[in-house]
Amino acid sequence: MTCACGTEVAGALLACPSCHRLVHADSLKGLATAAEAAARRGDPVEEIANWRRALDLLPPGSRQAATVGARVAVLSESAATPLKPDPHGAPGAPGPPLTAGGADADEGARRRAWGARGALLTGLTFLATKAKLLLLGLTKAGTLFSMLLSVGVYWTIFGWPFAVLLVLSIYVHEMGHVAALRRFGIQATAPMFVPGLGALIRLRQHPANPREDARIGLAGPIWGCAAAAVAYLVFVLGGGPLWAAVARFGAWINLFNLLPLWQLDGGRAFRALSRQQRLLAIGALAALWAWSREGLLVLLLVAAAAQAFRRDAPEQADRIALAQYVFLAAALTLLSLLHVPGAALR
């Protein structure tokens, strides 16, 4: 292309080498206008998405890139900090009725039943608040067709009821990543399923720092853990052994994803942990293994030990990433120990 100053500009350049005019000036103005409009209406998700797209069109090291990058960093910090629970939020399920003379012989059973219903309500509320996003993902042809292909493969092994529920639980996990990517304004493809290997999402932009990467990585297991918990509670409330099998297998898949290796979710989380935090995570995994004897934890321990003393550990601690990692390891270990009655799959 030819710049207004008459200089031929290669397609890969973002600024004219002679007059330094920005190649994508018009697009940048449009993105800035959209970002400012989003800020005025209080939509940080749309604002950060527009600024990130603008950052891709600015020459690295330029004054404009530094200004936009600083705004992205502020919005990213806000997105990475979880909101405090609302003390005036919706009330949970009512407690069990009490008798004037104290608990009767069935009091414990009633309390457990009400507790399970309350937990189920919490899990269903979580998924219901994300229903719009979950349904939106199913409108993507590639996602839907690859899901159906995966269902067909698992159907031949486990039967169709388990295959459908398993693929849906994997889908919920992937949409957790999508929700986090949207929150940080990072562009990515829709989830694509690979039969026998789960699913994947390809990023079109990269997280700006290890903190963002950790939030995006752990969002999948967080949503997957919620799906497994809901499946287990459906079983507790009489849904049948199939739901216990889905809960246990889903928990095992999400626990495997906590391996601190490569591009697995655990690997992305570990890159945000300081060396001391990595040692704390190892201690938590060791305690969980001593309590549960879950064999997969041995694999997590070995991988975590290999990562503990790598020189890429950041100096600044990420307490949220550590708390999320340890919580997920504990919750998923507990769910992976569930007893599944016989003939659960077919």
Residues in contact with 299: Cβ distance below 8 Å, sequence separation at least 6, in sequence order:
259
**How far is residue 6's CA from residue 19's CA, in Å, rounded to a whole number?**
10
**pTM listed for this prediction:** 0.77
The answer to whether 265 touches 255, Cβ cutoff 8 Å, is: no
**How far is residue 137's CA from residue 220's CA, in Å, rounded to a whole number?**
14
Helices (H), 159-240: 160-183, 210-234
Helix (H) and strand (E) counts for the chain? 13, 2
Residues in contact with 117: Cβ distance below 8 Å, sequence separation at least 6, in sequence order:
93, 237
DSSP letters spanning 90-109: ---PPPPP--TT---TTHHH
**How far is residue 189's CA from residue 8's CA, in Å, rounded to a whole number?**
34
Amino acid at the residue 313: A
The architecture that CATH gives domain 1-81 is Up-down Bundle (1.20)
Tokens of 143: 């996602």
The answer to whether 234 touches 127, Cβ cutoff 8 Å, is: no
Report residue 24: phi and psi, to 5°. -105, 40
Residues in contact with 171: Cβ distance below 8 Å, sequence separation at least 6, in sequence order:
134, 137, 143, 147, 191, 193, 199
Instruction: Name which of 325, 223, 201, 210 is nearest 266 in CA terms.
Output: 325
- pLDDT tens digits in sequence order for the chain, 346 residues long: 676 676 666 666 777 777 767 777 888 889 888 988 988 888 888 888 888 888 888 888 888 888 888 888 888 888 877 554 433 333 333 333 333 343 444 444 444 444 445 545 555 555 555 667 777 777 788 888 888 998 998 888 888 899 999 999 999 999 999 999 988 889 888 888 888 778 888 888 888 888 999 999 999 999 999 999 999 988 988 888 899 999 999 999 999 999 998 788 999 999 899 889 999 999 999 999 999 998 899 999 999 998 887 777 777 778 999 999 999 999 999 998 887 776 555 5
**How far is residue 253's CA from residue 284's CA, in Å, rounded to a whole number?**
19
What are the extents of the domains in the chain? Answer: 1-81, 113-336
Name the β-bridge partners of 188.
Answer: 203
